[in-house]
Structure 1
């Protein structure tokens, strides 16, 4: 049988939960940063400051996609 005390099991479970929560928060922040970068890139292309090739691979609105032609 295992000789783990209740405190050790509780500490391990708490550590795992905290790690998963931290990874979730970091992943969400990374996703939000990517969305902000995409919005900024699409805006710069739409305003004509950057060439349309800069926005390749991004999901820009159709009015921006027309400028790529």
Structure 2
């Protein structure tokens, strides 16, 4: 199992957590999503994770990945 972390500066509330988690969970290979509002961090765990697909899912939720 691998882990990828994304800095998402616009995360600010529970709605953000729900929106991002919902989209990211749809990406094949994702087994766990953790969104930390305080750290502005999205951590994704799973097998065969596709960075581009994960970034696209976060974008689809309405948020931009920093860097």
Higher helix share: 1
TM-score between both structures, scaled by the size of structure 1: 0.30
Determine which structure has greater relative contact order: mean sequence separation of CA pairs < 8 Å that are 6+ residues apart, divided by chain length: 2
TM-score between both structures, scaled by the size of structure 2: 0.30
Larger Rg: 1
